[in-house]
Amino acid sequence: MPASGNTRLLNYFSLVKINHTIFSIPFALIGFALAVKAHGENLNLRLLILVLLSVFFARNSAMGFNRYVDREFDRKNPRTALREIPNAIISPQSALIFVIINALLFILTTWFLNPLCFFLSPVALLVILGYSVTKRFTALSHMFLGLALALAPIGAYLAVAARFDILPLIFAIIVIFWVAGFDILYALQDIDFDKSEQLKSLPVYYGSRNALVLSALFHLMAVILVVFAGFSGPFHLVYWIGALIFTVVLTYEHTIVKPDDITRVNLAFATLNGMASVIFACFVIADLYFY
């Protein structure tokens, strides 16, 4: 029996792990709020919706492309063999069409933001799509993923301000180290498979124990930059409460993943980091709007 329209939509949402949007949307909202605050703008609902749509379309194209180019690896890996493409729920051709449609919708959305966002949109696509091939040639693929997600606060800021500033750049660098840190944890699950397929990651290169140390160092750097941003921006007590919670959550995730016990990786990777980003963003935005 052919799948219904709702089922097909859910399959594509599953393909791109729509729930993982929680990693990029909060920092995009931080970038948006920073620009509104810095330039004395009133909240523009139309502009906010366009920003959220651009993040949505960009992420869909990036994740769809990741699933498309990794389909043979996913088919071989027992952990990923039931994903939509290797399990023949979505064909490779359909996934590629999905990627192209979302990439075009992303570019179209930026057209309605401002000329700078529009002209930079191909560069953004190159970065977010390019991540998917980096693990074939560099163990620093985690940093490239961080860079891809770091475009969210910068792009949202540009949508309002149409110019670059230091503070959103600091938040972007926070995202790079934060994402790279938790992506290292996620990669612990595939060390043996990645070695067999000659795929590169920091866990493959340094081993589980040293990779966990690097992950903790990356998260320490993210926390240091959160503190630096707090002193660099127009922030007050509410921001520092959010920064403390963010720090505590990141610290906790490093107590539940160990070199010889990665059974709680998904809790650390998805649940805790999702909580950290949402809570931190709520406190940052509240600080900006209520002081």
pLDDT of residue 3: 60
Find how far residue 70's CA is from the centre of its chain. 18
Q: How far apart, in whole angstroms, are the C-alpha atoms of residue 2 and residue 135?
A: 36
| This model's pTM is above 0.85 | yes
pLDDT of residue 231: 97
In a domain, 159, yes or no: yes
In a domain, 4, yes or no: no
pLDDT of residue 1: 43
CATH number for the domain including 200? 1.10.357.140
Determine the 3-state secondary structure of 261 from DSSP. strand
pLDDT of residue 171: 98
In a domain, 2, yes or no: no
**Range of 284's domain?**
17-290
Comparing CA positions, the residue from 179, 169, 148, 210 lying closest to residue 273 is 179
- φ/ψ (deg, to 5) at 91: -75, 155
Q: How far apart, in whole angstroms, are the C-alpha atoms of residue 139 and residue 141?
A: 5
Domain count, the chain: 1
In a domain, 52, yes or no: yes
In a domain, 252, yes or no: yes
In a domain, 5, yes or no: no
Q: Are 217 and 227 in contact (CB under 8 A)?
A: no
In a domain, 84, yes or no: yes
In a domain, 10, yes or no: no
Q: How far apart, in whole angstroms, are the C-alpha atoms of residue 121 and residue 89?
A: 31
For each successive 10 residues of the chain (291 residues), what is the average pLDDT? Answer: 72 91 94 91 88 97 97 96 96 97 98 97 97 96 97 97 96 98 96 96 96 97 98 96 98 93 88 94 95 79
pLDDT of residue 5: 67
- The DSSP line for 186-251 is HHGGGHHHHHHTT---HHHHH-HHHHHHHHHHHHHHHHHHHHHHHHHTT--HHHHHHHHHHHHHHH
